[in-house]
Each structure stands twice: as C-alpha cells, then as structure tokens.
Amino acid sequence: MELTKQERFMQVYEPVHERFERYCKSRVYGEFHFKDIMHDTLVVAFEKFDEIKSTDAFLHFLFGTSARILANHRKKKRPEYVDQLIAKYEHINHENTLIEQQFEINDLYACLQELDQVTSECIILFEISGFSIKEIMGIQHLSEAAVKQRLSRGR
C-alpha cells in the first residue's frame, strides 16, 4: 500500500521538527510568534513537497523557505512597540525552565537581533541548530572561511 502525500511529508518532517522549531524561535524572537512562521513555512513546504528532489535536504529547504517568509513579513508589517514587548516575553515561558535560564535565553535572543541577518543566521545554525560548518556552507552558499569569520565576529 502506497503512502499518501501527507504520510510521506510527516515521515520526513518529524525527525527535523525540533531543529526547525529552535531555528524559528531564534530567528523571529521579539518580532513575531515563531509558530506563525513555522505554520506558513510548513504550508509552503507541503505544497511543494513533490518538487523536492532529495529528502536529505528537507531541513535546508525549510530554513530557506522560513527565511524568505520572515523577510516578506518584515517588509509588510512592523509591529508596534507594545506588540514587540508582548512577543519578547511570550517566548520565555517555557515549562521547567529556571528563572536564570529564562534571563539568559532572553539576553541571547536580544543579542542575536543586534547582529546583521547573515551573521545571526550563521550563529543560529551552528550554535542552536547544531549544524556543522560544512552544512552551513551549503545552506548559506559561503566559503568555509566566510562561515568561520561570521561565527567568530558574531560571538
């Protein structure tokens, strides 16, 4: 019995869900709710799932798609100051997280937002999502030296 498109999609998506969620939380911190970006990205990914040639590159496809969606959202709408504050503190309410860790997470995300987009994405991919330098080279289409330089400057 052949699997449906939805079943095939879920087989590919489930192993990468946690990494994708961490990536989205890091990228949208303080601007939007990460689940909105995840949802929009997954809708696009599901629609184009049959066009993806390699399921090994699915996570890279999700990252690229979410980055484009986020860029489009930023162009269209700038949230009000109050909305930014609400969104900023909404992300820290993780269950079983100590108060000290919540402040550290808050500081980390605030610092990431101060970096330029390419450097911030590089740090997120390496430090938070756990990608190797070679994988980041493929995602960002950069040389190894450029990735290492962005990581060094970003830190």
The pLDDT tens digits for 120-132 are: 888 888 877 778 8
Question: What are the residue ranges spanned by the domains of the chain?
Answer: 5-92
Q: Terminus-to-terminus CA distance in the chain, angstroms?
A: 50
Three-class SS of 105-124? HHHHHHHHHHCCHHHHHHHH
Q: Please tell me the distance from the alpha carbon of residue 132 to that of residue 130, in angstroms, as a whole number.
A: 7
The pLDDT tens digits for 20-79 are: 888 888 887 766 777 888 888 888 888 888 888 787 888 888 888 888 888 777 666 554
The model's pTM = 0.53
What are 121's two structure tokens?
């994405």
Between the alpha carbon of residue 62 and those of residues 1, 49, 82, 95, the distances in Å are 28, 11, 30, 26
